[in-house]
A and B are shown apart, each in its own frame.
Chain A
């Protein structure tokens, strides 16, 4: 196991702890997106607690905001705040660690949670970078169910129109949403064709839970000039915990004590 992969598995363990304690959260989507977040925050993006107020920092938006549980663990681990506080107070009364990204938490750029806002926010941030001749890049992570929101297509069109090569979207293609398989709820299986026809540079990532493949894809996106890039990351919802993998019920399922113990054990084995 390389360093990034190990980190992603450690963060999975933190997520399980956080979600189990609170009886809240969106564990399935957390586990599918955690590798993407790990690679972004530990390998790709220029953002840290030190440069967090600096206008040149890279920008990140979790458009699928319901998976903030995963983002909290990454930000806490990177030192934006005390990770343990997030684990212990996630979703509790009065806690700033509520169930969607909010700017009361250091490291969170914008409030989100209503799906279909992140990509357009990213277009604005990428346009501002150009206006101010800044070299920061903007990253937006979307869900595949979320891609049914029409606002995404307005943002896609604008990003291509303005040739925003400083904008990089990632779709967490786990093929599931609340009601079931995305292909049955609202089919977005040809997302690659859609992005391409809107003028985007499309980078498929065969295993979106593979840190090496993700790192490579982000490099390719950063080097691409003249058009925005999108990573279509084929992931597994619930990745890393066998009984959660590819099960729609774990979108926001709550673990029993036994399930929690099994999940922790499986992750420990993977880490050993």
Chain B
């Protein structure tokens, strides 16, 4: 239980603070986003390793690439909506194509911004970033996984896009849970169905599996935080043991987890895939939870859809 409601963005800041104690090359770059990224403490503690770009996301990404080309280990944090859409060409050319050591942190992704509406939702960031050769794409679920992911990314020099949600996510792991980069997390195995989820949807998938169990349905839960490279081995192992594969994501139906999973399944193990995602339309306004509920993206909604698909 994440009783203190620690957010993944706070965890990223803590992890970077720790790493910066020993590494002067770590640089954080923000675009009037240090507050929403929870990176204020980093800016205060390491002002020489912090660069403020103002409200200029394209500049943020390209300046980050320039810094990285000179040996800096750059973490550029800005709302996912602007980072992955407005700065897309900068990510494509300056970061992914030139393969520099920049980790793009897309904060408040998906529908985190709730009633701020479509300009602030980023429901296409995974599709967009995954289509860039050289860009890895991650969407961690809980705080423990987030910390371990950032630690792992500090250990290599390749570009990555990491999406994080705004609110605190329920714990699904603990400090001791094993983490291997690019290996999906397995919360439970199932005989009837397997639910593959990422990010904030993972605890909802786990809740759905509990609800389904009460109804005699055995559903597994896989945390595919590594969208690219997708962990095909784990995916296929689970898919081969069930009748129904379900994907759940806080993203458009196009080009996200459901699409990436389906591609592998079509090729390697054709079977029915139920894709639960946000519809291709202007979304209703409300808090992120209200939006999830409205589109059936919560424990109850997922369980209902899985049950209906199994009958």
Contact = CB atoms under 8 A, between A and B. Distances in A.
Contacts of A149: 55-56
Given A91-B285, A145-B54, A150-B58, A179 B120 contact: no
A271 interface: no
Residue among B32, B52, B118 with the most chain A CB within 10 A? Answer: B32
Given A94-B285, A145-B54, A148-B55, A100 B290 contact: no
Contacts of A185: 32, 52, 54
A77 B228 CA distance: 51
A102 B55 contact: no
B120 A100 contact: yes
A113 interface: yes
A128 interface: no
Contacts of A121: none
Contacts of B81: 114
A94 B32 contact: no
Residue among B35, B58, B119 with the most chain A CB within 10 A? Answer: B119
A98 B59 CA distance: 29
B42 interface: no
A98 B32 contact: no
Nearest to B116: A99
A95 B283 CA distance: 11
B180 interface: no
A92 interface: yes
A270 interface: no
B285 A114 contact: no
B24 interface: no
Interface in A91-132: 91-96, 98-100, 102, 111-116
Contacts of A98: 115-117, 285
A179 B35 contact: yes
Contacts of A102: 117-118
Contacts of A94: 284-286
Contact of A145 (B36, B55, B86, B113): B55
Interface string B98-120: 00000000000000011111111
A149 B55 CA distance: 6
The interface residues of chain B, by DSSP majority, are classed as: loop
B34 interface: yes
Interface string B46-83: 00000011111011000000000000000000000110
B199 to A, nearest CB: 22
Given A100-B120, A113-B119, A178-B35, A186 B286 contact: no
Contacts of A24: 115
Contacts, number: 90
A145 B32 contact: yes
Contacts of B290: 93
B119 A65 contact: yes
B115 A99 contact: yes
Contacts of A65: 119
B84 to A, nearest CB: 12
Contacts of B285: 91-96, 98-99
B77 to A, nearest CB: 12
Nearest to B117: A98
B287 interface: yes
Given A24-B115, A93-B284, A111-B119, A150 B54 contact: no
B119 A114 contact: yes
Contacts of B58: 150
A150 B116 contact: no
Interface in B23-54: 30, 32-36, 52-54
Contacts of A145: 32, 54-55
Nearest to B59: A150
A145 B115 CA distance: 22
A99 B288 CA distance: 14
A116 B59 CA distance: 13
Contacts of B82: 114
A100 B32 contact: no
A100 B81 CA distance: 14
A146 interface: yes
Interface of A: 24, 65-66, 91-96, 98-100, 102, 111-116, 145-146, 148-150, 177-179, 182, 185-186
15 contacts: A91-B285, A93-B115, A95-B285, A99-B116, A99-B117, A113-B117, A114-B81, A114-B119, A146-B55, A148-B32, A148-B55, A150-B56, A178-B33, A179-B30, A186-B55
Give 4 nearest A-B pairs by CB, closest first.
A186-B54, A113-B119, A148-B54, A93-B286
